[in-house]
A = this chain, B = another copy of it.
Amino acid sequence: MDLGIRGRSAILLASSRGLGRACAESLAREGVHVVINGRTEADVLRTCDELHDAYGVTATPVVGDATTTEVHDALLGASPEPDIVLLNGEGPAPRAFTDIDAPMWADTLQRTMVSPLLFVQRVIGGMQQRQFGRIVAISSAMVKSPNPFMSMSHGPRLGLTGVLKGLSKSVIADNVTINTLLPERFDTGRQQQMAELVMALRKISYDEARAEQVASIKAGRLGRPEEFGDTFAFVCSAQAGYMSGQSIQLDGGSYEGVF
């Protein structure tokens, strides 16, 4: 299937590893020039090299924390008129609700909700003028099934989802779509971290921790990053221009609710 985006340009926040990298790879394979971002220089450079070598696209590295204005500046310096933007970032660690103090709230809200919105402010007008834009946020399945130990994750992410949904209504007439992908338990470093956390907390083995992760997914397996990346690429396609404001769960069929 031709996604109709060859030659377009994308900025992908937090794309040197994990789901972000998978998204970058799927776009690059379709001929999209990508700006790769991450905090570890070696990861960012290696990703750029690999994508350029494999697919021949321009892959521009921007090293740094994508929740800062400086990195936003650098990203837009590298690609001033992006057609596609991936909003992504590291999720916070689990923490009991009563242990979250005001500075922690302020920090997680700034990083997970405000910072992506400030970046969207800087690209949305140009996308409207150029009559093409695809903004996709990686959120979490938990925004629809909040877990009491992940308040710092689903709180800001729900806020982000809501603001993006509202915004989506006012830009779709200019062929700018805004959608959210809600992953649960993809086989990335994040799940390994979570397994290690559970091993330490509950004195169980790595295999036991992984088995619990798998057991929590109705599909009986973790998701593969390339499944995520290709879904992202489809949502960015030319022919996905009539679909906006959607929150699509990629969770191995695990969500209980009908909608």
Contacts and interface: CB of A to CB of B under 8 A. Distances in A.
B121 A102 contact: no
Interface in A216-235: 218-220, 223-224, 226-228, 230-231, 233-234
Nearest to A159: B159
Interface string A75-110: 000000000000000000000011010100110011
Interface residues of A, number: 81
Contact of A258 (B113, B125, B145, B250): B145
Contacts of A170: 97, 148
Nearest to A177: B253
A227 to B, nearest CB: 5
Copy count, this protein chain: 4
A203 to B, nearest CB: 23
B258 A162 contact: yes
Contacts of A144: 257-259
Of the candidates A151, A226, A243, the one having the most CB atoms from chain B within 10 angstroms of its own CB is A243
